[in-house]
Amino acid sequence: MLKWVGKVFKYKEWSDWDRNLSSFGYLSQLFSKFFRIDNFRKSKARDFEVLVKRYKLDNEQLNKNAKALLMLSYFCLVLAFLMITYAIYHFIIENLLPAVIAFSISLLMFTLAFRYHFYYTLIKYQRLNCNIKDWFILNFKKE
């Protein structure tokens, strides 16, 4: 009975089974390529002084860049808080779309503030290959 149903209703041909199977295989391969951690190559540990010599920087330039990064971080932080208050204002008067947009912009500004402060920390403590845990310990651990 099932053979007869399979001959009459050729579902594999009607649904283009082979093409769907190959496109599913391609998507699964793409998904595994993007979301597997072991594909990332670990970068070589470099010394900070080697890179300073390579890019011909001196302490004055490093201090100037560190100060600029810190000021930029504070500026982004202030803008983020302003955007949060603007989002709260629109949420209170029930304008949801501007509130969501302002909130997303404030998240972007917080992200930029963190990035610039992370770069500032790398220059200040002259470290490379620093992760978020190291950044947190360097900035907030009381000794």
Q: Judge contact between 71 and 120, C-beta under 8 A.
A: no
Q: Judge contact between 128 and 45, C-beta under 8 A.
A: yes
Q: Judge contact between 58 and 49, C-beta under 8 A.
A: no
Query: What proportion of the chain, given as a percentage, has pLDDT over 90?
Result: 41
User: Residues near 134 by Cβ (< 8 Å), separated by ≥ 6?
Assistant: 127
Burial of 92 (0-12, 13-18, 19+ CB in 10 A): exposed
pLDDT of residue 14: 66
Question: pLDDT tens digit string along 6-48?
Answer: 666 666 666 677 777 888 888 888 877 777 655 455 555 568 8
CA separation for the pair 61, 67 (Å, rounded): 10
Token output for 6: 């399979």
Threshold 0.85, pTM exceeds: no
pLDDT of residue 63: 92
pLDDT of residue 5: 66
User: Residues near 36 by Cβ (< 8 Å), separated by ≥ 6?
Assistant: none
Phi and psi for 37 in degrees, rounded to 5?
Answer: -75, -30
Question: pLDDT tens digit string along 43-76?
Answer: 555 688 888 888 888 889 989 999 999 999 999 9
